[in-house]
């Protein structure tokens, strides 16, 4: 049985890969772990895949996966999770800013009973343009998710194998794996302060737009979790409110017209009042929302999600 699977998404990191794999191997050998390293080349435009192929020839513990194009970090992690065989799955970035020396303690924390352990880069070697937005983003995420982690964006995390086999990540949902784990029945989530290395090679692949995307993803994952199995609860509620408001407005206009005529008071025609058209729109929208809810229920009951990436090449090994 493999004790540890190290899953590493790779995008244009040809310079750091030799040093990273040597560092991981050194840590694993020192602590006597049985392990595997899964490097997922996410459509790199440099020599990253060639480097991975060369490294695998001299390292029997290394596995490689090459995407046909850049699908994003979430897709890379999902592919690695599907292939991970270790009791504990460690994720880390390929840029050497995450230290493999943290792996033994992360492993022990998971084996001690936690489902997920998230790294916390308490002291960061990043410019202020990244640290301030990151603190704001993490604060909002804590508030919405209810999970008290300081650093949702940290790539260095550890999971029980059962956790990664029971979640599916896509889009840009990798930031919210602890949240997905909790919602899928794995609530034991811990945190560990980890060392953050200064970038040694290349440049950051993430810009400020990731924080905006992060908030949109948080809204999306919250909505999907709450209404994925019961979409009619969302669309039906909105449809009911819209239909009833339109119906009540129409009833009031009719009552006002009839009451006015019975008292000999001249009242505008119903169709001459803008409020009538507003009520008509509300009724139509309400019906449409109901229909949307029914269709969503049908899709929920019959649709299964497929992986959103394609594999070009793969390196495997046998123990």
pLDDT digits (tens, 9 = 90+) for 181-192: 888 889 899 999
Per-residue pLDDT for 304 more than 70? Answer: no
Query: Which whole number is the average pLDDT over 59-80?
Result: 93
The pTM assigned to this predicted structure is: 0.72
Structure tokens at 182: 């909790």
Answer positive or negative: Cα dihedral of 209, 198, 181, 90.
positive
Query: Which whole number is the average pLDDT over 107-121?
Result: 93
Q: Comparing 132 with 259, which gets the higher pLDDT? A: 259
Query: Which whole number is the average pLDDT over 287-311?
Result: 71
CB crowding 53-91: b at 16 or more within 10 Å, else e? bebbeeeebbbbbbbeebbbbbbbbbbbbeebebbbbbb
Quick check: 81 and 162 in contact, CB under 8 A?
A: no
**Residue 89's pLDDT is what?**
97
**Residue 131's pLDDT is what?**
64
Per-residue pLDDT for 128 more than 70? Answer: no
Three-state SS at 190? strand
Structure tokens at 55: 């490294």
What DSSP state is assigned to residue 229? S
CATH assignment, 4-228: 3.90.550.10
Quick check: 42 and 73 in contact, CB under 8 A?
A: yes
How does residue 64 score in pLDDT terms, banded at 50, 70 and 90? very high
Angstrom distance (rounded) from CA 89 to CA 235: 38
How does residue 312 score in pLDDT terms, banded at 50, 70 and 90? low
Q: What is the mean pLDDT of the chain?
A: 84
């Amino acid at each position: 049985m493999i004790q540890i699977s190290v899953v590493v998404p790779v995008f244009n990191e040809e310079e750091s890969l030799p040093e990273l794999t040597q560092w991981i191997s050194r840590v694993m050998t020192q602590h006597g772990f049985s392990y595997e390293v899964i490097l997922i080349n996410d459509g790199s435009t440099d020599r990253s895949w060639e480097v991975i192929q060369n490294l695998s020839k001299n390292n029997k513990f290394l596995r490689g996966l090459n995407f046909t194009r850049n699908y994003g970090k979430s897709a890379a992690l999902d592919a690695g999770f599907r292939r991970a065989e270790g009791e504990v799955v460690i994720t880390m970035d390929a840029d050497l800013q995450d230290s493999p020396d943290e792996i033994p303690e992360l492993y022990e924390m998971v084996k001690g009973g936690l489902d997920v352990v998230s790294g916390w880069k308490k002291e960061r070697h990043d410019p202020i343009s990244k640290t301030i937005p990151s603190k704001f983003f993490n604060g909002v995420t804590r508030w919405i998710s209810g999970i008290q982690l300081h650093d949702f964006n940290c790539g260095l995390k550890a999971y029980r194998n059962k956790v990664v086999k029971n979640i599916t990540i896509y889009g840009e949902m990798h930031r919210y794996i602890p949240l997905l784990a909790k919602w899928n029945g794995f609530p034991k989530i811990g945190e560990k302060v980890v060392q953050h290395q200064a970038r040694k090679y290349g440049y950051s692949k993430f810009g400020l737009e990731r924080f905006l995307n992060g908030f949109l993803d948080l809204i999306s994952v919250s909505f999907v979790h709450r209404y994925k199995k019961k979409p009619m609860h969302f669309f039906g509620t909105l449809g009911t409110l819209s239909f009833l408001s339109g119906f009540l407005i129409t009833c009031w206009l009719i009552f006002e017209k009839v009451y006015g005529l019975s008292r000999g008071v001249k009242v505008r025609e119903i169709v001459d009042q803008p409020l009538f058209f507003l009520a008509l729109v509300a009724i139509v929208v309400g019906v449409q929302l109901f229909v949307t809810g029914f269709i969503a229920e049908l899709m929920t009951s019959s649709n299964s999600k497929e992986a959103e990436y394609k594999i070009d090449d793969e390196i495997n090994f046998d123990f």
